[in-house]
Structure 1
């Protein structure tokens, strides 16, 4: 992270030059680099700075109050945002429609990911021409850049879903790429990840320093395992379960920690192995604002939680006690229709990291893929691994989940609590299985949970 902070000003300047914003690219010096100069006569230092900048670009909007984790959390009934200065946090996110004209709500999660996608494509073009970087290091940069680009496309399609999104955006200024189908976007993401994996397999060391959120994944060989984990997530989203199992076998998935009480801390630590967005507010870097006083945990997190002995007074799912705490007083909104006395605790400070993908998700993805293939026995093994180690709940028997449908219900519950408030997983998962209507309609019974974000009005108008 130190290197990321040191190069932040240069990266932001480069991002301004390479971004997709409206208007001209005829800007002044910006640390002495122009788009043409960067692509046609790239220097080693600029290329490496731009590579680091992709992590900063992908992190944009993740951990702010109107960002990816928070907004998708509200729509998925994981969280509330009670901001007296901005009623849209309730009225729009839980209301009848998302406004495509508002860049902080309905129009969100579009411009920033596409700016970073453009940056990745520009970096890839520069890598072909830069000197002072070995062929093996160039392969490392290519594999890394395509993986981050895939993650940015995933943000766009996770929010737009069947509205689709443009793919061929590496075009001259003024030309608009056609909007492609959801299936086409997912296929493109899968292709980027597979191409990235091939580059990483042929790579030497990364010639730039990554953030501390990639500790343990900061070599091409280890980063490849991260790439394969993301590829497994995408394959599950596509319903390509055999592909998901193949990718998981090449990832960092690990189910080797025993379940006894003495290894509780080790079990949780093993499940937390993964990659993270990092923040270092004290050094002038962006902070993690998910601990905002306006953000509350949804009461259903507690009321729906399982207990160890199945009784209302039993020890509650350990994931609840680790991630949520009760406040002394309740806060309400929408004329008392909404209230909560719960606060998330998993982001304890402005420096807290936000997961990109963790071992816990990989194990649950393997269970999901096996359920999709009707392999219920191995799915049960993985579900019980998560229940006993992350939730400290008793194992289930095969008789308790005798059907594919019953196994899926259990999977969705485990994903809800294991991946709580990490990146909209509950909303995305319920939508994929046509279960959004199981979410409460809290402001008005006619307000169904939002299925997708609209394509921004500025994008539509420009077409």
Structure 2
């Protein structure tokens, strides 16, 4: 059974130098981690002896942590495939058109019966296993312990950030004890955000500025700060959103805006954190979204492709393509350009520098720092070949500057990680915009329903209002 929060990263062919004991020990451990689990109902681990053995030394513990990234990059929610967060949120917003009953429902109407769930607590459980093992007596050296603990806290916070924005109030699972997790009630949104901040604040102190690998596929301190800036933005804490985005932007020897054609490459200097695809493959998003014939899953909304961009915006030509089939033109995102190739050149981008400029621009605007906000916005616009925003909007004030920032987020971050869906929600404009393009739009859809099967599994879980 697949779930949307299945994760991935490491593959045998990319790590041929790893000893045979790694594969004998970690494969059953990964199997334990990737098994399907209910919303919060976690069975007692049957492979507990394997879990215990994993924390005997640095190599085994590190391999266990890498197993989480493997699951992130190869399955469901984070990978960019058919049931991914990017795809479903793009359908729920106004970015994609869905084909077939499974996906078309997100264009119009979601119910607890037809919504299979855009969540899994599996990755949170995985992170909790790592944290539990590191906090007990073990053979892990202090530097490695700090690194692994920081990454596990980051992963847990990352998962909760998406859960709370999709479902609102959710259970906070901080234990691996199934007797506790199977009876959890939903925590309030402030409680969830408080836990996210606790995890990230601690992770920031544990992780260093340098990446521990040659590529940017394991988060460092700046990846933590990038997520902190986004979380504070969503919370309306403008000062901290500005603070943390500035910390990332200031590392200009490490992070740079690159040419539009190079943004999503594995070697991109714009990348803050990426997920490595499975061995011999490029990104699941490229495989799914690049069209060579009429779409059977999703295509890009014509409204976005044809009318969403300003004239001369280079992003439209660099990041969108079309195909004509039977007299009908279908558009598709072309950020990831490789549909199928054994030569791996693209990694799944999770955090990148352009978002940090847009976060800081919005945070500064909200604080009345209009000149500075305009400067940040124009940095992103300049790469796209657009004129400075003050030339387009001569009489610029707070409200139309915020609108300009949201428009820039729409065309810069489209089809990435649910940004458009979350921006519509947090700006309060979802109903006004989506009711124009979705005949059955209902404001209750601002939160996804808890699938009815999950409520039956745990009678402490209540349904979201209106369903």
Is the shorter-chain TM-score for this pair beyond 0.5, marking a shared fold?
yes
Q: Which residue matches 1:364?
A: 358
C-alpha contact (below 8 Å) 1:226/1:252 kept by paired residues = no
d(CA) in 1 for partners of 2:368 and 2:252? 21
What is the SS of the residue equivalent to 2:173?
A: coil
User: Could you tell me how far apart the structure 2 residues matched to 1:179 and 1:185 are?
Assistant: 10
Is the aligned partner of 1:119 residue 2:126? yes
Aligned to 1:30: none
1:100 aligns with 2:112: yes
The question of 1:459 aligning with 2:454 is answered yes
Which residue of structure 2 lines up, in the alignment, with residue 311 of structure 1?
none
Task: Report the Cα offset of residue 81 of structure 1.
Answer: 2.5
Alignment partner of 2:332 out of 333, 343, 363: 343
Q: Matched residues in 1 for 2:285 and 2:377: separation? A: 34
**Structure 1 residue 397 and structure 2 residue 372: aligned?**
no
1:74 aligned to 91, 95, 117, which one?
A: 91
Distance in 2 separating the partners of 1:283 and 1:446: 38
Confirm whether residue 14 of structure 1 aligns to residue 29 of structure 2: yes
CA shift digits 1:193-245 (9 cap, x unpaired) = 001112225x9995xx68x452xx66xxxx10111011100000111111112
1:51 aligns to 2:51 (yes or no): no
Alpha carbons of 1:291 and 1:413: their partners in 2 closer, same or farther (altered >3 Å)? Answer: same
1:413 aligns with 2:407: yes
Preserved contact between residue 167 and residue 450 of structure 2 (Cα < 8 Å) = yes
Q: Cα distance, 1:373 vs. partner?
A: 1.3
Distance of 1:254 and 1:64 partners within structure 2? 32
Task: Please show how residues 31-430 of structure 1 align to structure 2 within 5 Å.
Answer: 34-35=47-48, 38-39=51-52, 42-44=55-57, 45-59=59-73, 60-61=75-76, 62=78, 63-82=80-99, 86-90=100-104, 92-96=105-109, 98-102=110-114, 106-111=115-120, 114-129=121-136, 131-161=138-168, 164-175=169-180, 176-200=183-207, 212-214=215-217, 223-252=220-249, 272-280=270-278, 282=280, 289-291=287-289, 293=295, 294-308=297-311, 315=312, 317-329=313-325, 341-349=330-338, 350=340, 352-389=346-383, 391-397=384-390, 400=394, 402-430=396-424
Q: Distance in 2 between matches of 1:360 and 1:426?
A: 15
SS at match of 1:328: strand
CA contact (8 A) 2:261 2:318 kept: no
Q: How many residues align?
A: 416
Instruction: Indicate if the aligned counterparts of 2:11 and 2:279 stay in contact, CA closer than 8 A.
Output: no
Structure 2: distance between partners of 1:331 and 1:179: 50
- Distance change in 2, residues 1:156/1:253 (3 Å): farther
Instruction: Report the CA distance shift for 1:141/1:26 in structure 2 as closer, same or farther (over 3 A).
Output: closer
SS of the equivalent of 1:166 reads coil
Q: Is the 8 A contact 2:96 2:300 kept in 1?
A: yes
RMSD: 3.4
Kindly indicate whether the alpha-carbon contact (under 8 Å) linking 1:366 and 1:379 is maintained by their aligned counterparts in 2: yes
SS in 1 for 2:322: strand
The Cα of 1:281 is off from its aligned counterpart by 5.2
- Provide the secondary structure at the position in 1 that maps to 2:349: strand
Shift of 1:319: 1.1
Q: Which residue does 1:335 correspond to in 2?
A: none
After TM superposition, give the deviation of residue 414 of structure 1 in Å: 0.4
Tell me the secondary structure at the aligned position of residue 280 of structure 2. helix
Go from structure 1 to structure 2 and tell me whether the alpha carbon gap of 1:194 and 1:183 turns closer, same or farther (over 3 Å shift): same
Shift of the 264–198 alpha-carbon distance from structure 1 to 2, 3 Å rule, reads closer
After superposing the two structures, state which structure 1 stretch, 347-356 or 137-146, moved more. 347-356
Structure 1 range deviating more: 380-389 or 451-460: 451-460
TM-score by length of 2: 0.79
C-alpha displacement of 1:136:
1.7
Deviations 1:400-445 (A, max 9, x none): 3522110110001000111111111011011001100243447763
> Normalising by the residue count of structure 1, what TM-score does the alignment of the two structures yield?
0.79
Higher mean displacement: 40-49 or 4-13: 4-13
Q: Say if 1:443 and 1:89 are closer, same or farther in 2 by CA, change over 3 A.
A: farther
1:434 alignment partner in structure 2:
428
Name the CA distance, whole Å, in 2 between partners of 1:376 and 1:99. Answer: 42
Tell me, what secondary structure is at the counterpart of 2:248?
coil
In 2 relative to 1, CA 373–89 (structure 1 residues): closer, same or farther, beyond 3 Å?
same
Conserved in 2, the CA contact under 8 Å of 1:99 and 1:107?
no
